[in-house]
Amino acid sequence: MWIAGRCLKLYYYKTKSREVKESFVPGIELIKRADDFGQRTAVEDWTGSFTYADLLDVSRFAALNLLGDEKDLEGKRVVFLVPPGFEYVALKLGVWMAGGVSVPLGIVHSPREIEYVIKDSCAETVVFHPDLAHRLEGFSPDAGVRFRKLPEVFRPARGELPGISEERRAMIIYTSGTTSKPKGVVSTHLGIKAQINSMTEAWKWTPEDSILNVLPLHHLHGILNVVLCCLWSGGRCVMMDGFNAREVWERFKEKDLTLFMGVPTIYSKLIDLWDDFSAGERKRMKDCLLGFRLMVSGSAALPVSVLEKWKEISGQVLLERYGMTEIGMALSNPYRGERLPGRVGFAMPGVEVGIFDENGSRLGVEEQGEIRMRGKGVFLEYWGKPRETESAFCDGWFKTGDIAFLERGGSYRILGRESVDIIKSGGYKISALEIEEVLREHPLIEECTVVGITDPSWGERVGVALVLREGLSIDLEELRGWASDKLARYKLPTRLLLLPSLPRNSMGKVTKNRIKQSFQNSL
Ligand code: MLC
Ligand code: AMP
């Protein structure tokens, strides 16, 4: 879908960039390091292969075009709607070189969700890929938002770039939580650097590494763990246009990859396809997988059955780690040493982790409580939400809202979440409150409540219990159709329960655990 005309255009950038060489002033360390990797391949996508020198040249053009007559974007937000690939990476670095804050949008999000991010982040500029223009249709921007289409921002340009101090804000990632609307998690360049340092040390990244990215690039997992760790290390990032199990198996056959990272659902879908392979194909595929030095799972709990099946298939013991958009990676099974099934391991380098009771007292081994962490990689703030930022911390520790158990050997086991309003489906965090707020707009719905229903492949699925206005009816497909221009498709309920009334406790609060149970019983 993204291919039309791109190969030619990128060839043009490359040729032109050779003609406009001038002194290059790197700002943040990531860019300085990229400068050292020169002719090594940085990114490979379906349009071709790009060296670090190409990446820096094109990023610089992006920076200069974004700057226009300004000397420094001084933290202005540049929102972008660009599919994973070379252009995405070049734009991200370009925003940073110009002194801007990068705000990546999900290509799966609905126009309404996209409009929310543009407005909430008080964006100055929105850069979009032409194939995604329809997502912005009907958007009535507040005065001052400038829309720019690719490849216009990559036009060859000359000029000086600002010096960027690493204390500055670098990125805002929108993440759902216990509020109905997603919050913008702000990281500084220093915070990002601390997260990268921690991961590259723990998982021993080197310039010889090649990683396949199939993850979306508006969330931490794909952006930090895959793309930025790779660029920091001088490795090669092979980008796919999203996840497709068959294409991933095909790509593995080329035997040139050393690393793979995914959410448990991705491994589960790869396993489903494996089951269809012939004995000969399986033998060949196993051979290809043995060449990986590391395969990582995270963003949701890895079922032990998936870990075991993947080991049987590939000979690889998946390394499970635990993280969060606000903190980066906090816990990891060891790179060398035993990886324990159902455990998320030990504190990552430079990270302090503890479990605490509801009074804020630190607990010890063989106790369970909320997992809290501190370290240089922790986010700066929720964008424009000082109260929410303050209440996310206690005595300098970030409160994750996840419940964990500290084992005698020092390894952590994640037991669940404090909030029933957060759903994790296929690694995406979904707010039940956000979906409820949208569904309440439906003219037939009297009351509704949304819950996560345990699912072996997705981790959880979105279920909705509805009370309809008297004498009316609706089915799941109608409801999904109605909501599909308001919510990303992965947030749409896939299970529906019609009830005469919602169960409530003595305080009048809907008892979501009873609803979950009803769904479970109905399956
Ligand atoms: C897709 N669908 C989902 C879904 N993904 N439904 C529920 N949950 C999801 N996660 C829906 C689609 O809308 C579509 O519905 C149908 O499933 C098939 O879509 P698909 O595009 O073919 O699915 P697929 O490509 O297989 O996607 C599955 C996936 C994807 C697992 C690859 O969900 C994904 O990329 N997840 C990763 C999210 C992520 O990066 N999380 C990290 C957050 S950071 P329909 O109706 O159209 O048929 C974080 C911190 C940390 O958590 O620790 O890392
Ligand atoms: P996000 O807010 O999208 O960054 O998601 C972070 C959340 O994902 C954490 O708070 C956990 O609930 C969950 N998570 C991440 N990794 C794991 C894991 N290995 N096991 C269980 N839950 C995880």
Relative orientation angle of helices 29-36 and 189-202, to the nearest 10 degrees: 50
With a 6 A CB cut-off, is 57 part of the ligand 2 pocket?
no
The rounded Å distance from CA 183 to ligand 2 centre is 16
Same domain, yes or no: 412 and 434:
no
* Residues 470 and 365 grouped into a single domain: no
Among candidate residues 139, 164, 189, the one where a domain is terminated:
164
Domain containing 499 equals 424-522
Give pLDDT tens digits along the chain (523 positions): 444 345 445 545 555 555 555 545 556 899 999 999 999 999 999 999 999 999 999 999 999 999 999 999 999 999 999 999 999 999 999 999 999 999 999 999 999 999 999 999 999 999 999 999 998 887 776 667 999 999 999 999 999 999 999 999 999 999 987 778 999 999 999 999 999 999 999 999 999 999 999 999 999 999 999 999 999 999 999 999 999 999 999 999 999 999 999 999 999 999 999 989 999 999 999 999 999 999 999 999 999 999 999 999 999 999 999 999 999 999 999 999 999 999 999 999 999 999 999 999 999 999 999 999 999 999 999 999 999 999 999 999 999 999 999 999 999 999 999 999 999 999 999 999 999 999 999 999 999 999 999 999 999 999 999 999 988 889 999 999 999 999 999 999 999 999 999 999 999 999 999 999 999 888 7
Is there a single domain that holds both residue 154 and residue 239? no
pLDDT the model gives residue 420: 94
Count of the separate structural domains present in the chain: 3
Pocket residue to mutate for ligand 2, from 215, 299, 355, most atoms within 8 A of Cβ: 299
> Ligand 2 test: best mutation among 296, 339, 402, most atoms within 8 Å of CB?
402
Cβ proximity of 440 and 426 under 8 Å: no
Same-domain check for residues 437 and 366: no
Which pairs with CB-CB distance under 8 Å and at least 24 residues apart come from 116-122? 116/181, 116/182, 117/79, 117/174, 117/182, 117/184, 118/79, 118/145, 120/174, 120/181, 120/184, 120/383, 120/384, 121/77, 121/79, 121/172, 121/184, 121/383, 122/77, 122/384
d(CA 203, CA 201) in angstroms, rounded, equals: 6
Give the pLDDT of residue 31: 93
Q: Are 41 and 236 in contact (CB under 8 A)?
A: yes
> Are residues 138 and 7 part of one domain?
yes
Q: How far apart are CA 425 and CA 99, in angstroms?
A: 35
**Contact residues for 39 (Cβ-Cβ < 8 A; gap 6+):** 51, 52, 53
Give the ligand whose atoms come closest to the C-alpha of residue 245.
Answer: 1
Verify that 306 and 444 share a domain, yes or no: no
Whether 77 is covered by a domain: the verdict is yes
Same domain membership, residue 484 and residue 360: no
Cβ of residue 422 lying under 6 Å from some atom of ligand 2:
no
For residue 422, the ligand 2 atom closest to its alpha carbon is 12
Domain final residue, candidates 119, 134, 164 = 164
In a domain? residue 186: no
Q: How far is the CA of 25 from the centre of ligand 1 (A)?
A: 39
Which residue's CA is the closest to the ligand 2 atom numbered 9? 324
Domain boundary among 148, 164, 180: 164
Same-domain check for residues 315 and 333: yes
Integer distance in angstroms from the first to the last C-alpha of the chain? 37
Which residues, in sequence order, are bridge partners of residue 370?
Answer: 356, 403
**Cross-strand pairs, 428:** 425
State the CATH number of the domain containing residue 14.
3.40.50.12780
402 with 472, same domain: the answer is no
**What is the per-residue DSSP string for 362-386?**
BP-TT-EEEEEEEETTS--EETT-H
Tell whether ligand 1 has an atom less than 6 A from the beta carbon of residue 86.
no
CA of 286 to the centre of ligand 2 (A): 29
In a domain, 214, yes or no: no
Whether 384 is in a domain gets the answer no
- The answer on 146 and 8 residing in a single domain is yes
Give a three-class secondary structure readout of 170-199.
Answer: EEEEEECCCCCCCEEEEEEHHHHHHHHHHH
CA of 296 to the centre of ligand 1 (A): 17
CB neighbourhood size of 124 (10 A): 17
- Residue 151: which of 38, 61, 274, 229 has the closest Cα? 61
Tell how far CA 334 is from the center of its chain. Answer: 23
Separation between Cα atoms, residue 295 and residue 411, nearest integer Å: 20
Shared domain check, 370 and 318: yes
User: What residues contact 188, with CB distance under 8 A and at least 6 apart?
Assistant: 166, 167, 168, 169, 170, 380
The verdict on residue 370 lying in a domain is yes
Domain assignment present for 324? yes
15 contacts 6 by C-beta, under 8 angstroms: no
Q: Is residue 203 part of a domain?
A: no
- Residue nearest (by alpha carbon) to ligand 2 atom 6: 324
Cα–Cα distance for residue pair 291/270, rounded to 1 Å: 17
Q: Which atom of ligand 2 is nearest to the CA of 297?
A: 19
Whether residue 22 is found in the same domain as residue 126: yes
Q: Whose CA is nearest to atom 7 of ligand 2?
A: 324
The answer as to whether 460 is a domain residue is yes
